[in-house]
Amino acid sequence: MDRTRAFGKTAVVALTTCAVAAVPAVASAGSPPSSWTNLRTMSCDGATVEAAFAPGGVFTSFHVLGSSDVIVPKHVEVVFPGTTQPVTTLDVPGFDNNKRGVVTCQYVDPAGLAVTIVGIRT
C-alpha cells in the first residue's frame, strides 16, 4: 500500500512538472511585434506611457512598451485640428468606465489630432 501511494505521488509530481514545462512562457513585452509600428507617447491617468498600436490602428489594442500590458480601447474621442469639439469615433455599448483596470489616455497624433482613449489596461 505504501508503494502504491509513493508511486501515485511521484506520478502526480511528474505530471505537474510536465504540465508546467509545457505551458508557453509569457513573453516579456518590452518590444511590440515588428508589425506594430505606430508608436505613440501618451499621458495615461497622469503617467507618461509609450505604446505601439496594433496594425489596425487606434480602434485595436495597443501594447505598453516595457511591460506585458495591453490597453483595449472602449471609447475614443478625437479633436480635429482647427476645431474644439470632440468627435466620438468609438463607443462600445455597455462599457462601464468605473471597472477595475480602466484608464484614460491622451495624445496628439502626427497629423495633429488630439485623441482621448478610455479603455481597459490588462
Q: What is the pLDDT along the chain (122 residues), one digit of tens a residue?
A: 544 444 343 333 333 333 333 332 233 345 666 766 688 999 999 999 999 887 776 678 888 999 989 999 999 999 999 999 999 999 999 999 888 899 999 999 888 999 999 999 98
Burial 87-117 (b: 16+ CB within 10 A, else e): eeebeeeeeeeeeeebbebebeeeeebbbbb
Is the entire prediction scored with pTM above 0.85?
no
DSSP 43: E
- All three cell numbers of 66, joined, read 516595457
**Structural contact between residues 77 and 89, judged by C-beta atoms closer than 8 angstroms:** yes
pLDDT attached to residue 93: 95
Contacts with 51 (C-beta within 8 Å, 6 or more apart), sequence order: 39, 40, 42, 62, 63, 64, 65, 71, 105
